[in-house]
Structure 1
Amino acid sequence: MSKLRILVPVKRVIDFAIKPRINKAGTGVEKKGVKFSINPFCDIALEESLRIREANKGLVEQIHAVSIGPTKAQDVLRTALAKGADSTTLIDVGEEEIEPLSVAKMLQKIVEKEKSNLIILGKQAIDDDANQTGQMLAGLLNWPQATNASKVEIEGDQVTVTREVDGGADTLSAKLPMIITTDLRLNEPRYASLPNVMKAKKKPLEKLKASDLQIELTNRLEILKVEEPPQRDAGVKVESVDELIAKLKELKAI
């Protein structure tokens, strides 16, 4: 039975409880003066790695959290440490928006560096909703993958994942190494206790640049304009079925 070395990528995003606002230039979302936190899907991935360690005593050798983003992304890594991650790496790319393929290439280097054999990451980030990084990383590593996981079971080197699909549930099984992307129903993340938060502030945190990994950051997409969706017209109340039918005919809906 192989010891698990779990890699958990986590992303710093605008807090899910805040409604994003478009910036004055119309090129993206306003990021100044807003609260940031760990991406909810990434939080679920971290929680699942912790639960795997707790349910399988002695099986997990290391849980390593990695974040790609600005220097301030240290905050989400400190949160990961406070919750139970053993070590962390920040790949500092400044305020530049990094596309999923570049993210996957950098994660590939971290996988090789940390000798990870199980990667658990959120299926998507709530800022770009790309839902691509896990799949691209699996392609680069040539590893089996199970996306949108709602249940994970490990027995020896065999990993079984239940995933929700349109027709119900789909069950996949593969041997390590493997990549799993998490869905919302997989678990409910724990809160970090205040003592652990204070301890996490003193723990070492590895910092790297993309150049340290020999990765050239190249964006292939250009955002031309971001705008609010059009306002929906107010609904109309009717008093009877006859009035409803007349209204639908008036709108040429029937």
Structure 2
Amino acid sequence: MAVLGAFLAALGITDAFRDTSQAPISQARRYSALAAGLATLAALMAASGLPAPTVLGVGIPLALLLTAWALDDVIGRAIGEKGRRTAAFSAIGAGVVIALLFGGDVATAWPTWVPGPLSEIPPARVILVGGIALVQVTTANVLVRLILDAVNVPTKEGSDRLRSGRVLGPMERLFILGLGLAGNLTAAAVVVGAKGLLRFPELAASESSSRSLPPILIQKTTGNDPGNGGQTAPATPVHQGPNPVTEYFLIGSFASWLLALGSLGLAMLVLG
């Protein structure tokens, strides 16, 4: 439990420090973010109370996977954009699996100076929930963008038109996670529906703007037809494809909800 929370918290801290909303990221910022993530991982692993051999045996692979995640731009330049996405998803998936399989828990207690109700909650539980919550705020935004890139949805126009998405996304994921842990998934569904209602005017305006554009004209040659003398046939109008803003909203929202629900399922699995 604590090892999984430490890995997720390290991911969240890394992405918070490197500020993935800004591109490109400088080398100094990228490596500073990685150092912050590795320090978080080491500190929380040490606080888990596990024996030193276990901390090293599990912590080193997790540190390598965290490095692969933080240096995804460098990996992308070496193996291509598709390989970069594969490596990024694989790093997170492998880290979660390793933490679940080999990150056993040891009963630990808070220091005596920790007062109030917090001292009654096992530290491992706090580390896990904190790590999952931190991922919703930072790392999940990166994962959503990777999913959009993987299905070739243009993100620039959507992010320009729906500028509050990077704020609403973390908020709705935290709502879903919190309400789910509290056993009130019905209220989480209301949050999902409310987002659609709030975004409807913007999406409707975007659809109206898209339909007002002239259709694309495609010329068809008839050079293989001897009777036509190789003349060019009249242009055929072809209407525009799906509105990129609508695609951005739908796929981005569903990806965001799935990440929140997946995190909720992971938390319930570990917490029991």
| Fold in common (TM above 0.5) | no
More strand by share: 1
TM-score, structure 2 normalization: 0.27
TM-score, structure 1 normalization: 0.29
Name the larger-Rg structure: 2
